[in-house]
Structures are given as C-alpha cells and as structure tokens.
C-alpha cells in the first residue's frame, strides 16, 4: 500500500499570472528584451516577475556556446542591437527599479565579447 504525502509549501510554485507578472511580461515583450527568466526557462519566473524582479539578458538571445546545462538558444547570432541598452534603461525606469541585474549570452563572435554594449547599459 502506497501512501502519498503533501508537498511542503516552499516546494510549490504559484502559477504565473498576477498583475505584476503580466505588467513585467508585457513590458519585456513591448521593448523586445530578453531575460534569463524566460530564455533559460526558469521555474521561478512567476515569483520573480510578481515581485517586479527580472534579470535582463543583453547581446541578443542566441549564445555562441552550447552548454549542456543551459536552456538558452545556441548558434550563430545575427548582428548586434545597439539600441538594446536604451530599451533596457526604459524598462528599468518603468518598473521603478533601484538597481538592475544584467547578464548576457556569450558572444565569442565579437572581438570585445560585447563589452561595448555592457558599457552602454
């Protein structure tokens, strides 16, 4: 006979869909931004976006490496979006953030690895 136990509350994640979650999602989509939350398929996206927290991922959404543990797309990136820092800045302002977390895909195809775009952010 098998008995089932309830999972502890800390192990359960709420389904995304709160007002804040939808606002963050719409803002990210409207500004054509990438986040680790969405691109890496983070299971905590609902909790983070509900708290108006996001880790912005710059330099596009295609990584030049193919790490087995990572869900970010890999391949050959197409171009560089020099207006991306402005859109990230706009999103940070609209979300009312005191600070922002930036990360990026690896861009081994660029001589500076994308440092120029980091500097602009």
Whole-structure pTM value: 0.82
Residue range(s) defining the domain that contains residue 55 = 15-120
Contacts of 104 (CB under 8 A, 6+ apart): 57, 58, 59, 114, 117, 118
Residue 45 lies in a domain: yes
C-beta neighbour count of 49 within 10 angstroms: 26
Residue 8 lies in a domain: no
pLDDT of 1: 60
Mean pLDDT by groups of 10 residues along the chain of 121 residues: 78 82 95 94 90 93 94 93 96 89 95 95 88
Residue 5 lies in a domain: no
Residue 77 lies in a domain: yes
Residue 82 lies in a domain: yes
Residue 7 lies in a domain: no
Residue 1 lies in a domain: no
pLDDT of 7: 80
How many domains does the chain fold into? 1
Contacts 24+ apart (CB under 8 A), 107-112: 107/59, 107/60, 107/64, 107/77, 107/80, 108/64, 108/65, 109/64, 109/76, 109/77, 110/59, 110/80
pLDDT of 84: 97
Residue 71 lies in a domain: yes
pLDDT of 31: 95
């Amino acid at each position: 006979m098998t008995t089932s136990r309830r999972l502890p509350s800390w192990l359960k994640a709420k389904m995304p869909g709160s007002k804040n979650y939808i606002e963050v999602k719409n803002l990210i989509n409207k500004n054509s931004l990438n986040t680790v939350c969405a691109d890496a398929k983070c299971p905590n996206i609902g909790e983070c976006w509900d708290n108006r927290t996001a880790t912005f991922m710059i330099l596009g959404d295609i990584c030049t490496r193919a790490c087995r543990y990572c869900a970010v797309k890999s391949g050959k990136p197409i171009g560089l979006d020099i207006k991306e820092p402005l859109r990230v800045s706009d999103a940070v302002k609209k979300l009312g953030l005191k600070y922002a977390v930036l990360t990026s895909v690896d861009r081994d195809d660029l001589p500076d690895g994308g440092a120029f775009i980091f500097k602009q952010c």
